[in-house]
Amino acid sequence: MQYTQEHIYELLLRKKNGNIEQADNQYLEQLLADNEDVSRLWNDIRQHDFDEEIWYEIEDSEAAWANVEQQLLQPEHSKVRRLRGIKWLAAACLLGIMAAGAYYLLTPSAEMSGEEMAAAASHAKGLRLKLSNGKTIQLPYNQPSQQITTGTIALNAGARTLQYTAEDRSMGGLNTLIVPPKMDYRVILSDGTEIWLNATSTLKFPFAFNGTRREVYLEGEGYFKVAKKAGKPFIVHTPETAVEVLGTEFNINTYKTGVTSTCLVSGAVATHSGSSTIVLKPGQEAVYMTRQGFTVQQFDADMVLSWMNGIFQFDNTRLRDLAPVIKRWFGIKVVFDDPSLADAPFTGVLDKHHDLPFFLRNLKNTGVGIDYYYDQETLHLKAAAVNN
């Protein structure tokens, strides 16, 4: 029997859940006994509840799997050979293992402080553009502008902005701009539309719009300033909805699974899901929830758009709702040692210009009664000790 990538992934999950068959378990036990890297990764799966997020996927899954397939997926009678850490890391990313845990395998064996691990995890993946032909280009971030040429495409990247020109206007296919944790980035499309992407977001777009529709695909959060083009509507697809405009400014947030928020700043938009359509006026927010549909409400532009200035504002926000923001911005998982702390309210700001320890020290001083510590790449929040 030959174990495919998908089958090994399934076996690992079955083993974790305790419903794996004996023959399959024997295979995994041999793999774990013969390969230290596999054993470390199994420990990571066993200890964490992880999400299959795009930030922790390798750029070219098929090529990465081809690199490890011949060494890992041997017939049962062959002894599994030890893989080099970097090759198993590629396979691990394919299996959806947390980036911080996978990144740990590449670090020296010397102990690191919690803050050092937090910094390492937040930079495990860089800003990059995956072209429609499968090639991936690493992009500079907050640096002077650089010229990058690939085929007929000329990229101008730097100062947190990407612009481009494409000599071949018939080029098809979607390119994927990947913005990792602790970064935000702007891209200017071929029609002049400007899009600001928040941390941990992806945008799929063509180098040139052909036909009568301009279509892009967003996951995460983005602010759109759409160039007006008569007779060519601009459509933003999200996992749950589609937003159609002609020329306007709006913000879309899809971070929370099953929830899509569209906030209209100026102009007019229509947001669709299935047979439901909502037309917004400036100052209105449409919130779509799976199985519940749309609700419309007013929104506070200062609160919603504060991320564009590198600041997240919170007003009596539960700490449990801060946890995903910290994870997106710093790439660090948050665990509450005392579950009751998750409902504690917090009013203040999270400023991207300061590091996470700076925010945590301020959090301790707010009177919420919070203390914290790191356990490898996980941030634990606990009740502060009471001084008698």
**Can you spell out the DSSP letters for 271-288?**
EEETTEEEEE-TTEEEEE
Region class of 326: left (phi > 0), else alpha (psi between -120 and 50), else beta = alpha
CATH assignment of 139-304, given 1.10.287.130, 3.40.50.970, 3.40.50.300, 2.60.120.1440?
2.60.120.1440
Region class of 181: left (phi > 0), else alpha (psi between -120 and 50), else beta = beta
Span 203-241, pLDDT tens digits: 999 999 988 899 999 999 999 999 998 889 999 999 999
Name the residue among 220, 215, 221 with its Cα closest to residue 243: 215
Name which of 85-94, 167-176, 329-338 the model is least confident about. Answer: 85-94
Whether residue 124 has pLDDT greater than 50: no
| Residues facing residue 348 across a β-bridge | 314
Higher-confidence residue of 281 and 57: namely 281
CA dist., res. 265 & res. 282, Å (int): 5
Query: 200: how many CB neighbours lie within 10 A of its CB?
Result: 25
Whether residue 369 has pLDDT greater than 90: no
pLDDT at 348: 82
Name which of 100-114, 124-138, 155-169, 175-189 the model is least confident about. Answer: 100-114
CA dist., res. 299 & res. 223, Å (int): 15
In this structure, the chain runs to a length of 388
Confidence grade of residue 277 (pLDDT, cut at 50, 70, 90): very high
User: Where are the domain boundaries for CATH 3.55.50.30 in the chain?
Assistant: 310-383
Instruction: Give the contacts of 3 (CB within 8 A, at least 6 positions apart).
Output: 11, 27, 73
Mean pLDDT calculated for residue range 158-168: 84
Most confident range, picked from 41-55, 76-90, 282-296: 282-296
Question: For domain 310-383, which architecture applies?
Answer: 3-Layer(bab) Sandwich (3.55)
Please give, one letter per residue, the 3-state secondary structure of 343-356.
HCEEEEEEECCCCH
pLDDT at 82: 35
Name which of 43-47, 143-147, 260-264, 316-320 the model is least confident about. Answer: 43-47
CA dist., res. 184 & res. 307, Å (int): 9
User: Where are the domain boundaries for CATH 2.60.120.1440 in the chain?
Assistant: 139-304
CB neighbour class for 99 (10 Å; exposed up to 12, middle 13-18, buried from 19): buried
Confidence grade of residue 162 (pLDDT, cut at 50, 70, 90): very high
CA dist., res. 248 & res. 251, Å (int): 10
pLDDT at 41: 59
Q: What is the mean pLDDT of the chain?
A: 75
Whether residue 383 has pLDDT greater than 60: yes
